[in-house]
Structure 1
Protein backbone atom coordinates (compact mmCIF):
# COMPACT_ATOMS: atom_id res chain seq x y z
CA UNK A 1 0.00 0.00 0.00
CA UNK A 2 1.22 3.45 -0.89
CA UNK A 3 1.74 5.88 2.01
CA UNK A 4 -0.61 8.51 3.32
CA UNK A 5 0.96 11.96 2.99
CA UNK A 6 0.30 14.25 5.96
CA UNK A 7 0.87 17.93 5.14
CA UNK A 8 0.70 19.57 8.55
CA UNK A 9 2.92 22.19 10.20
CA UNK A 10 1.96 21.34 13.81
CA UNK A 11 4.38 18.56 14.82
CA UNK A 12 2.11 17.24 17.58
CA UNK A 13 -0.84 16.82 15.22
CA UNK A 14 1.36 15.37 12.47
CA UNK A 15 2.91 12.77 14.79
CA UNK A 16 -0.47 11.86 16.26
CA UNK A 17 -1.83 11.32 12.76
CA UNK A 18 1.18 9.21 11.79
CA UNK A 19 0.81 7.09 14.94
CA UNK A 20 -2.89 6.47 14.34
CA UNK A 21 -2.43 5.70 10.65
CA UNK A 22 0.28 3.18 11.52
CA UNK A 23 -2.11 1.59 14.04
CA UNK A 24 -4.46 1.14 11.07
CA UNK A 25 -1.70 -0.73 9.24
CA UNK A 26 -0.87 2.18 6.93
CA UNK A 27 2.41 3.95 6.35
CA UNK A 28 2.62 7.72 6.55
CA UNK A 29 4.97 10.51 5.53
CA UNK A 30 4.95 14.02 6.96
CA UNK A 31 5.61 17.28 5.13
CA UNK A 32 5.66 20.47 7.21
CA UNK A 33 5.16 22.97 4.38
CA UNK A 34 3.17 23.21 1.19
CA UNK A 35 6.36 23.11 -0.87
CA UNK A 36 7.54 19.90 0.82
CA UNK A 37 4.05 18.48 0.44
CA UNK A 38 4.06 19.17 -3.29
CA UNK A 39 7.46 17.52 -3.72
CA UNK A 40 6.38 14.47 -1.71
CA UNK A 41 3.09 14.15 -3.61
CA UNK A 42 4.91 14.26 -6.94
CA UNK A 43 7.51 11.65 -5.89
CA UNK A 44 7.10 9.19 -8.75
CA UNK A 45 8.88 6.44 -6.82
CA UNK A 46 6.54 6.61 -3.83
CA UNK A 47 3.32 8.51 -4.65
CA UNK A 48 0.75 8.87 -1.87
CA UNK A 49 -2.49 6.92 -1.78
CA UNK A 50 -4.10 9.83 0.07
CA UNK A 51 -3.19 13.35 1.21
CA UNK A 52 -4.31 14.74 4.57
CA UNK A 53 -3.92 18.48 4.10
CA UNK A 54 -3.91 21.40 6.53
CA UNK A 55 -4.89 24.67 4.87
CA UNK A 56 -2.90 27.11 6.99
CA UNK A 57 0.73 26.25 6.25
CA UNK A 58 3.91 28.31 6.18
CA UNK A 59 4.91 29.25 2.64
CA UNK A 60 2.59 27.74 0.06
CA UNK A 61 -0.91 27.51 1.54
CA UNK A 62 -2.87 24.29 1.64
CA UNK A 63 -5.35 25.92 -0.73
CA UNK A 64 -2.63 26.52 -3.31
CA UNK A 65 -1.22 23.03 -2.79
CA UNK A 66 -4.64 21.48 -3.39
CA UNK A 67 -5.04 23.57 -6.55
CA UNK A 68 -1.64 22.41 -7.85
CA UNK A 69 -2.27 18.75 -6.99
CA UNK A 70 -5.51 18.84 -8.97
CA UNK A 71 -3.70 20.33 -12.00
CA UNK A 72 -0.93 17.69 -12.06
CA UNK A 73 -1.74 14.55 -14.07
CA UNK A 74 0.06 12.36 -11.52
CA UNK A 75 -2.03 13.62 -8.57
CA UNK A 76 -5.26 14.70 -10.24
CA UNK A 77 -7.13 11.70 -8.80
CA UNK A 78 -5.26 11.36 -5.50
CA UNK A 79 -7.81 11.71 -2.69
CA UNK A 80 -7.42 14.75 -0.43
CA UNK A 81 -8.86 15.14 3.06
CA UNK A 82 -8.61 18.72 4.28
CA UNK A 83 -7.99 18.94 8.03
CA UNK A 84 -8.18 22.54 9.14
CA UNK A 85 -9.19 25.10 11.73
CA UNK A 86 -11.20 26.96 9.09
CA UNK A 87 -14.77 26.17 10.05
CA UNK A 88 -17.05 28.48 8.07
CA UNK A 89 -19.44 27.16 5.48
CA UNK A 90 -17.73 29.24 2.79
CA UNK A 91 -14.35 27.67 3.69
CA UNK A 92 -15.82 24.15 3.48
CA UNK A 93 -17.52 24.87 0.15
CA UNK A 94 -14.29 26.39 -1.21
CA UNK A 95 -12.37 23.29 -0.09
CA UNK A 96 -14.73 20.98 -1.94
CA UNK A 97 -14.73 23.26 -4.99
CA UNK A 98 -10.91 23.11 -5.04
CA UNK A 99 -11.09 19.33 -5.19
CA UNK A 100 -11.09 18.04 -1.61
CA UNK A 101 -12.74 14.66 -1.17
CA UNK A 102 -13.52 15.37 2.48
CA UNK A 103 -13.22 18.32 4.87
CA UNK A 104 -12.71 17.92 8.62
CA UNK A 105 -12.42 20.80 11.07
CA UNK A 106 -10.11 21.07 14.07
CA UNK A 107 -10.46 20.07 16.79
CA UNK A 108 -11.34 16.65 15.40
CA UNK A 109 -12.05 13.12 16.53
CA UNK A 110 -9.18 10.78 15.66
CA UNK A 111 -11.61 7.85 15.46
CA UNK A 112 -13.80 9.71 12.99
CA UNK A 113 -10.81 10.79 10.91
CA UNK A 114 -9.52 7.20 10.74
CA UNK A 115 -13.00 6.03 9.67
CA UNK A 116 -13.00 8.64 6.91
CA UNK A 117 -9.50 7.61 5.81
CA UNK A 118 -10.66 3.98 5.60
CA UNK A 119 -13.73 5.03 3.60
CA UNK A 120 -11.73 7.10 1.11
CA UNK A 121 -9.11 4.37 0.65
CA UNK A 122 -11.84 1.76 0.24
CA UNK A 123 -13.39 3.81 -2.58
CA UNK A 124 -9.97 4.20 -4.23
CA UNK A 125 -9.34 0.44 -4.00
CA UNK A 126 -12.79 -0.35 -5.41
CA UNK A 127 -12.29 2.13 -8.24
CA UNK A 128 -8.90 0.62 -9.12
CA UNK A 129 -10.31 -2.91 -9.09
CA UNK A 130 -13.33 -1.94 -11.17
CA UNK A 131 -11.11 -0.18 -13.70
CA UNK A 132 -8.82 -3.18 -13.94
CA UNK A 133 -11.69 -5.65 -14.37
CA UNK A 134 -13.41 -3.51 -17.00
CA UNK A 135 -10.20 -2.69 -18.85
Structure 2
Protein backbone atom coordinates (compact mmCIF):
# COMPACT_ATOMS: atom_id res chain seq x y z
CA UNK A 1 0.00 0.00 0.00
CA UNK A 2 2.80 2.44 0.85
CA UNK A 3 5.69 3.15 -1.43
CA UNK A 4 8.73 5.09 -0.25
CA UNK A 5 9.59 8.19 -2.20
CA UNK A 6 12.94 9.22 -3.60
CA UNK A 7 13.94 12.52 -1.99
CA UNK A 8 15.64 13.60 -5.23
CA UNK A 9 12.25 13.50 -7.01
CA UNK A 10 10.73 16.13 -4.71
CA UNK A 11 10.48 19.81 -5.60
CA UNK A 12 12.02 22.39 -3.24
CA UNK A 13 8.83 22.97 -1.21
CA UNK A 14 8.26 19.22 -0.85
CA UNK A 15 11.88 18.79 0.30
CA UNK A 16 11.38 21.48 2.94
CA UNK A 17 8.21 19.74 4.20
CA UNK A 18 9.99 16.38 4.22
CA UNK A 19 12.97 17.79 6.14
CA UNK A 20 10.69 19.50 8.66
CA UNK A 21 8.88 16.23 9.38
CA UNK A 22 12.17 14.33 9.81
CA UNK A 23 13.65 16.94 12.17
CA UNK A 24 10.38 17.30 14.13
CA UNK A 25 10.25 13.52 14.63
CA UNK A 26 13.78 13.54 16.06
CA UNK A 27 13.03 16.43 18.38
CA UNK A 28 9.87 14.68 19.64
CA UNK A 29 12.20 12.06 21.16
CA UNK A 30 13.58 14.84 23.37
CA UNK A 31 10.23 16.26 24.46
CA UNK A 32 9.78 18.94 21.81
CA UNK A 33 6.61 19.74 19.90
CA UNK A 34 7.44 21.50 16.63
CA UNK A 35 5.11 24.13 15.21
CA UNK A 36 5.63 25.08 11.59
CA UNK A 37 5.32 28.78 10.81
CA UNK A 38 3.68 30.03 7.63
CA UNK A 39 6.42 32.57 7.10
CA UNK A 40 9.72 33.25 8.78
CA UNK A 41 9.14 34.74 12.20
CA UNK A 42 12.23 36.44 13.62
CA UNK A 43 14.26 34.27 11.22
CA UNK A 44 12.61 30.98 12.24
CA UNK A 45 10.88 28.41 10.02
CA UNK A 46 9.46 26.63 13.05
CA UNK A 47 9.32 26.80 16.81
CA UNK A 48 10.25 23.84 19.01
CA UNK A 49 8.44 23.95 22.38
CA UNK A 50 9.68 21.65 25.13
CA UNK A 51 7.41 19.80 27.53
CA UNK A 52 9.05 21.67 30.44
CA UNK A 53 6.86 24.62 29.46
CA UNK A 54 9.83 26.99 29.44
CA UNK A 55 12.19 26.04 26.61
CA UNK A 56 11.26 27.45 23.22
CA UNK A 57 13.69 27.28 20.30
CA UNK A 58 13.44 29.38 17.15
CA UNK A 59 14.66 27.07 14.39
CA UNK A 60 15.73 27.80 10.85
CA UNK A 61 15.56 24.66 8.70
CA UNK A 62 18.37 24.24 6.18
CA UNK A 63 19.37 21.54 3.72
CA UNK A 64 23.05 21.88 4.70
CA UNK A 65 25.46 23.23 7.30
CA UNK A 66 24.96 27.00 7.18
CA UNK A 67 26.02 30.21 8.87
CA UNK A 68 24.62 33.60 7.93
CA UNK A 69 25.12 37.12 9.26
CA UNK A 70 21.36 37.72 9.12
CA UNK A 71 20.92 35.24 12.00
CA UNK A 72 23.53 36.80 14.29
CA UNK A 73 22.05 38.00 17.56
CA UNK A 74 18.60 36.47 16.92
CA UNK A 75 18.93 33.37 19.16
CA UNK A 76 18.35 31.15 16.12
CA UNK A 77 19.05 27.43 15.98
CA UNK A 78 19.92 25.86 12.64
CA UNK A 79 18.63 22.35 11.88
CA UNK A 80 19.77 20.21 8.99
CA UNK A 81 19.93 16.58 7.96
CA UNK A 82 23.07 14.90 6.72
CA UNK A 83 22.16 11.41 5.53
CA UNK A 84 20.76 9.65 8.63
CA UNK A 85 22.13 12.29 11.01
CA UNK A 86 20.19 15.29 12.27
CA UNK A 87 21.94 18.33 13.71
CA UNK A 88 20.51 21.26 15.65
CA UNK A 89 23.00 23.93 16.64
CA UNK A 90 22.79 27.42 18.12
CA UNK A 91 23.88 29.61 15.22
CA UNK A 92 25.91 32.18 17.15
CA UNK A 93 27.73 29.67 19.37
CA UNK A 94 28.66 27.58 16.33
CA UNK A 95 29.79 30.68 14.43
CA UNK A 96 31.95 31.76 17.36
CA UNK A 97 33.51 28.29 17.53
CA UNK A 98 34.36 28.50 13.82
CA UNK A 99 36.01 31.88 14.29
CA UNK A 100 37.94 30.72 17.38
CA UNK A 101 39.23 27.67 15.50
CA UNK A 102 40.33 29.83 12.58
CA UNK A 103 37.96 27.93 10.29
CA UNK A 104 36.24 31.18 9.37
CA UNK A 105 37.58 34.70 9.54
CA UNK A 106 36.06 38.06 8.81
CA UNK A 107 38.37 38.19 5.78
CA UNK A 108 36.94 35.03 4.23
CA UNK A 109 35.69 36.12 0.80
CA UNK A 110 32.23 34.49 0.86
CA UNK A 111 31.63 35.46 4.46
CA UNK A 112 32.86 39.00 3.91
CA UNK A 113 31.16 39.67 0.56
CA UNK A 114 27.94 37.68 0.88
CA UNK A 115 27.53 37.44 4.65
CA UNK A 116 26.89 33.71 4.57
CA UNK A 117 28.63 30.42 4.16
CA UNK A 118 27.35 26.87 3.67
CA UNK A 119 28.75 23.44 2.98
CA UNK A 120 26.80 20.72 1.09
CA UNK A 121 28.51 18.14 3.29
CA UNK A 122 30.11 19.07 6.60
CA UNK A 123 33.91 19.20 6.29
CA UNK A 124 35.93 16.96 8.60
CA UNK A 125 36.79 19.86 10.92
CA UNK A 126 33.08 20.72 11.22
CA UNK A 127 31.94 17.17 11.99
CA UNK A 128 33.97 17.29 15.19
CA UNK A 129 32.22 20.50 16.29
CA UNK A 130 28.81 19.20 15.21
CA UNK A 131 28.92 16.01 17.31
CA UNK A 132 27.68 17.89 20.37
CA UNK A 133 24.66 19.07 18.38
CA UNK A 134 23.61 15.70 16.97
CA UNK A 135 19.95 14.92 17.67
Greater radius of gyration (CA): 2
More helix by percentage: 1
More strand by percentage: 2
Pick the TM interval, shorter chain: 0.3 to 0.5
Answer 1 or 2: higher relative contact order, Cα 8 Å, separation at least 6.
1
